[in-house]
Amino acid sequence: MSRREKLIGLLASNSQISWSDFTSLMNLLGFELLKNNGSRRCFVHKEMKIKFFAHEPHPQNILKRYQQKEALNFLKENKIV
């Protein structure tokens, strides 16, 4: 199983996923991370020119479950996973 598949499985499960693992997954899927003001982050797909916005969690480094669901739904709707 590749790192990409493991991270997708982690995102889809009830397990916790760290911000660094999430950004690694988005990078593996073709997204580039752009930093905005505050904790809001924008992931832009290099070829498809679509955007996904997320708030970088703080002070903990773990995504909330609703963030995982939003990201997974976005990736499925755009046929990336």
Domains of the chain in sequence order: 3-77 (3.30.920)
DSSP letter at 18?
A: B
H-helix or E-strand containing 39? none
Residue by residue, pLDDT tens for the chain (81 residues) are 899 999 999 999 989 999 999 999 999 999 999 987 888 999 999 999 999 999 999 999 999 999 999 999 999 999 999
Contact call for residues 57 and 19 (beta carbons, < 8 A): yes
Neighbours of 48 (CB within 10 A): 12
| Reported pTM | 0.93
Contact call for residues 46 and 32 (beta carbons, < 8 A): yes
Contact call for residues 19 and 5 (beta carbons, < 8 A): no
